[in-house]
Every structure is written in C-alpha cells, then in structure tokens.
Amino acid sequence: MVRRVAVIGAGAGGLASIKCCLEEGLEPTCFERSEDIGGIWRYTDSTDGGRVSVYHSVITNTSKEMSCFSDFPCPEDFPSYLPHRLLLEYFRMYARHFDLLRHIRFKTTALSVRKRPDFATSGQWEVVTETDGVQESHVFDAVMVCTGHYQQPYLPLASFPGIETRFKGRYLHSQEYKDVEAFRGKQVLVIGTGNTGGDLSVELSHVAAKVFLSTRTSTWVFSRISDHGFPFDMVNTTRFNHFLDWLLPSALMKRIRFRKFNSWFNHSNYGLASTKSSNFKIIINEELPFCLLSGTIVLKPSVKEFTESSAVFEDGTTEENIDVVIFATGYIFSFPFLEESVRSLFDDNRSLYKRIFLPQLEKQTLAIIGLVQLTGSVMVGTEMQARWVTGIFAGWNKLPPTSRMMADVLKKKPPVKRNPPERENLKISFISYTDEIASCAGVKPNLLQLLLTDPRLALAIFFGPCTPYQYRLVGRGKWSGARDAILTQWQRTLKPLRTRVVDDSSSSSDGWRWMCLLALPVALSAGFLLSKYPQLGWSLPAG
C-alpha cells in the first residue's frame, strides 16, 4: 500500500502532484532545490547552478483559461496571456489556497533515487537529499518526478564547424539569455526558429545593430490573437475542430491549416515556409513578420561553418562581423538522481507508458510527471497526469499488465530515432492526450449524457474552448464550480479588457444563441458517432 510519496520539484507539476496526493489521502513530501516555487517560471537573473528559468520579457503562449488548474480559475482581472510574474503569483495563490507549502522542503536537492533491496515486493525507494550540505536518507512508497523537460540545454556545437576552434566572438545557449542589455549595438545570429528563437530575435532587434535568424526547417507563424481579437487557443482548441481532424482526410486538414496561416501573411514570400513542406514547425509570434518586413531581422538558412568573425550559410552566402551567436536549440531531459538501472530503461519519453510509467519496473511506483509536449498547455496535461497517478498509488485505479503497457509503448513509438530538437517538435494533440489520461482516470465528460441532461453545457463543451474545467464535471475530484466556470469563461477573458467601455449596439449574444441552435444537429450527429464507435470516445486522434 502506497502512503508516503516523494515529489521532486515544486514547479507547476510538483504543486499539482502535492495537491492530488493530499486529495487521495497520501502523504507527500516535496523536495525543491531552490528557495521558492514556480520552476522555470520563477525568473532569476542568475544562471548559477544550472537552474533554468524564463527570460525577463517572456509571456505565456497559452491563454489563462486554457492553462489554469482545473478547479482553480485564474483571477478574472488577470490578462489572457500572463507575464511570468503574474503566472508565478497565480502559483502562489494556488499553493496558499490548498495549503501546499507546508509539504515542501526548500533548498533541498534530491541526490539519488534508488530502489530498495526489497523493491520487487515492496516497491519502495530510498531517496537521498541534501540541505545546507547535510545529507539525509528517506524511504518512500512512491516517487513522482516533476522536473519537466527543460533541464539540460542542447548545444550541438559539433554540427557547426569552426564555432569552437575559429570563431572569436561569443556564443551561448538561450538558457543564459536574460535581457537585451549585453547585446546592444551588436550583430547577433540566432540559431533556431522555435518559440524561443523567434522571441529572442524580435526582442534583440530593438537594440542590436542587426539580427540574423537561421533556420533549417519551414516555420509557420501565427498570432496569439485570433478571430475578433479572442485568444487563438480558445478559438481553435475545440472538440468540434478536433472532431473535424478525425473526420476529414489529413491532407485536407493540412491544406486548410496552411491556408489559415497564409491568410495572415504569405509565408513563402518571407522565406519561412512552403505549403509543400513535409517537415515544419509552428511557432507563436506577433512581431516576427513585421521585423522581417522592416529588415530588423534577416532570415537565413542553416549555418555551414564559422570563420573568425563570420558565418557561412548553406546557400553560399556569408554574413560578416558576427559578434554573438545564440543557440535557441532546445533542451534534453536527464534524471541524474535516478539509479542507472532505471535511467537505462528509456531513451526518451516515448519509452514511457502514457508518457508517465516505465513498464519494465517490477512495481509501478515511479511516475515521470510533465515530460510531455502538447499542442496546448502542458500544465493542464501535467495536472491530469498527477490525478491519474495518485489514483493508482491510492489503489482505486489500476494499470494494465506489463505486456499490454509494452505493446502500447511500441505501437506509439516513432520508427526513426530523431535528434533532440526534432523530438521536441513531435507534439501530441492536446485534446487527444488529455482525454486519454482523463479516460484512464475516469473523469472524461460524456457528450451524449450532457446533450440529454444539460444541452447548453454540452454545446459549450463541444463548440467552445476545451478548457480544463471540463475534466471536473464527473468522477473523482468532481468540482461543483466546473459548470459555472465553463459557462463564464468568455466573461473572464473579456473582463481585463473592460477598462474603457464603449457603446456597441450590436450584441453577439443573440448570434451565439442562434449558432448553438443551428449547431445542435451537428453535436447530435457527433454524439451518435461516438456512441456507435465507443472506441473513439473523446479521444479522436489528430488528423
């Protein structure tokens, strides 16, 4: 019987894990190596000790309604997209509300997590920690690793001849970047067009002499602001769109998405992406197109090599007088505190059952929380993982036999091994994954039942944003405020914008009612399909 649980890390995943443990009657002890909660979202100027944190200007890419904990909405006066300081404040509010801080041991590093000699029967772990130079050994019935996937910078210097031997300028990983001051008046080359590479390029363009942005893959850019000024994820991450992904051919859906992206600006004109691209990434950045249009950022292909002061690119062009090279090349995960026999069981998160459990362990008392890349908020997926895992630890939920878990892992594992940045781009559909774990946890909403008992709520769930409150309507952890949170999510989105009221006689409420009435047959048809093909459930795979 699991009772005592070690939680490693007090970021978003760690906080959710502590709360879920308490709700299941377990006894969590969280070990956090820094002096505060928040994980990477707690900004610090220092990079000492290898701690990864966000840069000073960062703002969330997912909106507050789509990213909050499922039974604790963000304050209505918070903006839809949060600067790191407001997100950290939200974490503090969550920790205070559920009295989580007393279960956290700060400035305590987990040095090792090893199986006990009787692990095959007890499933217990020996955890050695260090606080102020003093080591201590503990025995736990289970361990939840909540250190996430932003752990160790991926710096592929070997792929850039001359960077270490000839180049006289400075090079660094984006982990070391905090603000623009050190780059004022410099010529900067940013390598990598992920979200970080795009953000840093835009920010540096305001103070640098010139910014070059190098990419080797097609990159589609979209804005956080969608139709009628609403948050992009609230408009697009819906069960209806997810249903279309399953229903329509993938080639057609891909074409529709590319057309949508190009409706903002033609990506091929900017050298960013082509509709013929098979290998591409999608990033969020409102300012990058204008910076390219104004010439403050110049897009370049892959770097072939470096000389003493210049970069030579694959197309034969050369840019002279490069002062600084910033590698926005992502991260790789590592768990140095886990014993070697455990670390050797996986090479990436696709070796984990449901991205959480190692099927080969004799006892499933180790859970990796937050090691997943989703097309939506990882925070929501992480909380769902924690709810399911603690239910298993508490004994009311069960895992399938090892053979079935291994078969599931092999089925979902890609046939070709990719390098770390490419693995980062292989994101899982937010709705597919969250629904899958919710189904395992017994908290997935039932469309047909809702259509019969509460059609207004059913339509809001199917056609509206897939907000986390949907997973608090039924099952263990059901929250009485979930229905109201869903029906008022648009009000909370608009509230911080109502600082100046203007008279607009055209009301959208009547149009919304008519749309709901017209959409009812579609929802009923979808419900019929889901009832006829129960294996689809709410977890329709992305197209």
Model pLDDT for residues 438-458, shown as the tens digit of each residue? 999 999 999 999 999 999 999
d(CA 148, CA 378): 10
pLDDT attached to residue 519:
58
Quote the tokens at residue 491.
């009000």
pLDDT attached to residue 503:
83
pLDDT attached to residue 505:
61
Record: fold of 154-223+264-330? FAD/NAD(P)-binding domain (3.50.50)
pLDDT band, very low/low/confident/very high, at 277 (cuts 50, 70, 90) = confident
pLDDT attached to residue 421:
47
Model pLDDT for residues 295-304, shown as the tens digit of each residue? 999 999 999 9
Model pLDDT for residues 357-397, shown as the tens digit of each residue? 999 999 999 999 999 999 999 999 999 999 999 999 999 99
Confidence check: pLDDT of 533 > 80: no
d(CA 188, CA 13): 35
User: Mean pLDDT in the chain?
Assistant: 91
Model pLDDT for residues 387-439, shown as the tens digit of each residue? 999 999 999 999 999 999 999 999 887 655 555 544 444 589 999 999 999 99
pLDDT attached to residue 412:
84
Residue indicated by tokens 């990882």: 378
pLDDT attached to residue 125:
98
d(CA 193, CA 279): 13
Q: Maximum CA pair distance of the chain?
A: 73
Is the separation of the CB atoms in 177 and 326 below 8 Å?
A: yes
pLDDT attached to residue 518:
56
d(CA 458, CA 247): 20
d(CA 171, CA 181): 16
Per CATH, the homologous superfamily of domain 4-151+333-412 is FAD/NAD(P)-binding domain (3.50.50.60)
Residue indicated by tokens 């996937």: 149
Model pLDDT for residues 232-268, shown as the tens digit of each residue? 999 999 999 999 999 999 999 999 999 999 999 999 9
d(CA 110, CA 136): 10
Q: What percent of the chain has pLDDT over 90?
A: 82
Confidence check: pLDDT of 102 > 60: yes
Domain locations along the chain: 4-151+333-412, 154-223+264-330
pLDDT attached to residue 56:
92
Separation in Å, CA 423 to CA 227, 372, 420: 31, 11, 5
Amino acid type, 153: P
Number of other residues whose CB lies within 10 A of the CB of residue 140: 23
